[in-house]
Amino acid sequence: MPILFLLVLMQATTAPAPPDVASPPADATKTASGLASKVLKPGTGKDHPAKEDLVSIDYTGWTTDGKMFDSSSKTGKPAVFPVARVIAGFSEGLQLMVVGEKRRLWIPESLAYKGQEGRPKGMLVFDVELHSMPNRAPSDVKAPPADAKKTASGLAYKQLQPGTGGHHPKPTDQVTVHYTGWTTDGKMFDSSIASPRGEPVTFPLNGVIAGWTEGLQLMVEGEKMRFWIPEKLAYKGERAPYGMLVFDVELLKIQ
């Protein structure tokens, strides 16, 4: 069963339907399956999601009478889910997109819920913005780039997003973070974003691998960094994952 759109009735403020919600306009493109779509904002990426990928998106869905039935705005953060585990038309539409792109999809009922009881009926219309593919490794996953900084211990790091906080955590503090980790061959091995609940994790800073303990003390709340953690600061070859590990970490809160 698709994991998206299970709780579809919105209690919060609804977004107005687009003027072409009733049917695809003349400038929409249509695939052989019957899916129609139109690019609302060009993307900046080059790669398209595949069925085995995870995607981070913002979306809003309407029925053709203009009623909004679901939106990622109800949580205040992008939705993350596997491309293969949504309705067929949504999955197909995502695979047409690149990161940064916003697209409107007109999904016929045959590619949506096929008349299932308790689901939205008829053609569904979605505005979708693709933010990222969290499982995809960054281009510099193999080794720290020239602009990365390095500490005396061998930890390398690079700021991805500046923070808003004013102080750094201490080893005895609890921290709440979102993170994704890859091995240097580009395989994602762990992620709070890609977990079934997609929720951040909280832990004592002195209760994780040494590279994390050191790296997070360099950060402030709101900051996002990429860390290249040598094996001696990770699992020391004692268990998988082996070798240098690469993490994107966003520090959300210092307890």
Residue 140 bears catalytic tag: no
* Residue tagged active-site, from 189, 242, 248, 254: 189
* Residue tagged active-site, from 127, 179, 193, 248: 179
Instruction: State how far the Cα of 167 lies from the Cα of 221, in Å rounded to an integer.
Output: 8
When computed from its CA atoms, the radius of gyration of the chain, rounded to whole angstroms, is 21
Q: Where are the alpha helices (DSSP H) in the chain?
A: 88-94, 210-216
Strands 156-161 and 245-254: unpaired
Closest CA to 177 of 149, 211, 212, 148: 212
Closest CA to 63 of 118, 122, 110, 129: 122
Closest CA to 175 of 189, 150, 192: 192
Closest CA to 130 of 75, 80, 70, 85: 80
* Residue tagged active-site, from 69, 203, 235, 242: 235
Residue 235 bears catalytic tag: yes
* Residue tagged active-site, from 53, 140, 173, 209: 209
Cα distances (angstroms) measured from residue 160 to each of 166, 227, 247:
17, 10, 12
Residue 193 bears catalytic tag: no
Region of 76 please: left (phi>0), alpha (psi -120 to 50) or beta: left
Which DSSP category does 234 fall into? T
The backbone torsions φ and ψ at residue 111, rounded to the nearest 5 degrees and listed phi first, read: -110, 5
Residue 242 bears catalytic tag: no
Which DSSP category does 127 fall into? E
Residue 203 bears catalytic tag: no
Residue 157 bears catalytic tag: no
Catalytic positions are: 179, 189-190, 209, 235, 247
